Amino acid sequence: MMDLLQRLGVTSLSMLERLGRGSVFFLNILLSIPSVLVRPRLLFAQMYSVGVLSFSLIVISGLFVGMVLALQGFYTLSDFGAEGMLGVMVAASLVRELGPVVAALLFAGRAGSALTAEIGLMKATEQLSGMEMMAVDPVARIIAPRFLAGLLSMPLLATLFSAIGVLGGYFIGVGLLGIDEGGYWSQMQAKIDFSEDILNGLIKSVVFGLVVTWIAVFEGYDAIPTSEGVSRATTQTVVHSAFAVLLLDFILTALMFGDN
Amino acid sequence: MYISRSIEILVGLFVAVGFVALFFLSMQVSNLSSINGDSGYNIKGHFSNIGSLKVRAPVSMAGVNIGRVTAIEFDTQSFEAIVTMTIESQYNGLPSDSSASILTAGLLGEQYVGLEAGGEDESLKEGSKLELTQSALVLEQIIGQFLFSSGSKEEN
């Protein structure tokens, strides 16, 4: 019994410790962002590996999510004779929820895990301490460009996901199920509000990008420098990102759309 | 670290495609293209019941959208709802005795304000008040009246 209590205490203390270290780390990253802006080439290289390489995954997933939404929505809406609302349904669910959330989950799996593994391995092979020896700040040189790249890529990827999804819904709805083309777009334009829906979705994706990249770079930086430690850190990146994204999504949705 | 030119081009392409997607969402998917600033004039109408009319609901005349509902307030003196509508400035010749009614688009659709032109020469201006208004039809009241009238017929 005492043993259990003791372990509980140790676990919660170490969790708090990690949270504290993560927050200090986050502040450190923010402070070294100006040094990245001086050398944008570092950022470009990371935008490539974080953003461009996630591109095909996001496009293909977005297309299929939009197509499934249209197919499923059609069967429900046709019961009420409201097939004309299909465009609204597809666009609203993509722009408000699925675009930012699914893109963030895919992003955590595709780019976040790669970031953690890369940084963790750098730590395990003592490249990070080597940099410190040469008076190069690893946070400014390695972490901050990756963080900034993730922060910038995520909203772009989420927007792309929603846009491709709407087009996928269009192919299925108008092409396959024979919904009126004008109705698909005009109902959508009448119901989707720019500031209410699109900007809020964009804010969500910025928040998710920040959190997912933060978790990814911190897990890598804080990993136990062994091969097992790196593999655990990579797993934890995906798990923690998924939790954080879904929890934050609930909070943000309640704040943004709770009043109507 | 050497970064080849093709990587920079790919990153540039990625950012460009992202912005095209945002442009597509705002122009084709949302209502941004149909908002043309705040150019328009406000008119008010007092309704005894607005049903489920919402702010941003369309205001139409002869089936054409000519404006939007911009505010709904409650008058504590007359216990009526004051609906403020912004009419686009290109439609500035509406007769001042036009009437407004709250209608429903389709059976289950949204409620909107339908304007009916009057015959006056004077036209509606900023801050004008619509004198003739017709409340929203509340389904429960109609059914209640129908049941009441059919019940009284049987008695005769």
The residue ranges of every structural domain in chain B are 1-30, 41-139
Burial of A79 (0-12, 13-18, 19+ CB in 10 A): exposed
Enumerate the residues of chain A whose CB falls inside 8 A of the CB of residue B56.
193
Size of interface A-B (CB pairs under 8 A): 90
- Please answer yes or no on whether B1 and A155 come within 8 Å at the CB atom: no
Give yes or no for B126 touching A (CB within 8 A).
no
Amino acid of residue A150: G
What are B74's strand-pairing partners?
B81
As a whole number, the mean pLDDT across chain A is 90
Residue of A nearest to B7 (CA): A48
Question: How far apart are alpha carbons A169 and A181 in whole angstroms?
Answer: 11
pLDDT for residue B8 is more than 90: no
Q: Would you call A250 helix, strand, or coil by DSSP?
A: helix
Query: Nearest CB to A192: which of B24, B31, B58?
Result: B31
State the pTM of this model. Answer: 0.79
Residue-wise pLDDT for B86-114, tens only, equals 888 888 888 888 888 888 877 667 788 88
Question: How far apart are alpha carbons A78 and A86 in whole angstroms?
Answer: 9
Give yes or no for B146 touching A (CB within 8 A).
no
What are B44's strand-pairing partners?
B84, B129
Give yes or no for B10 touching A (CB within 8 A).
yes
Residue of B nearest to A46 (CA): B11
At A62, the pLDDT band (50, 70, 90 cuts) reads very high
CB distance A253 to A149 below 8 Å: no
- Please answer yes or no on whether B25 and A198 come within 8 Å at the CB atom: yes
Rg, chain B, Cα only:
24
A 193-222 residues with CB < 8 A to B: 193-194, 197-198, 202
**Backbone φ and ψ of B92, nearest 5°:** -105, 10
Give yes or no for B107 touching A (CB within 8 A).
no
Residue-wise pLDDT for A84-130, tens only, equals 888 889 999 999 999 999 999 999 999 999 999 999 999 999 898 89
Q: Tokens standing for B55? A: 């702010």
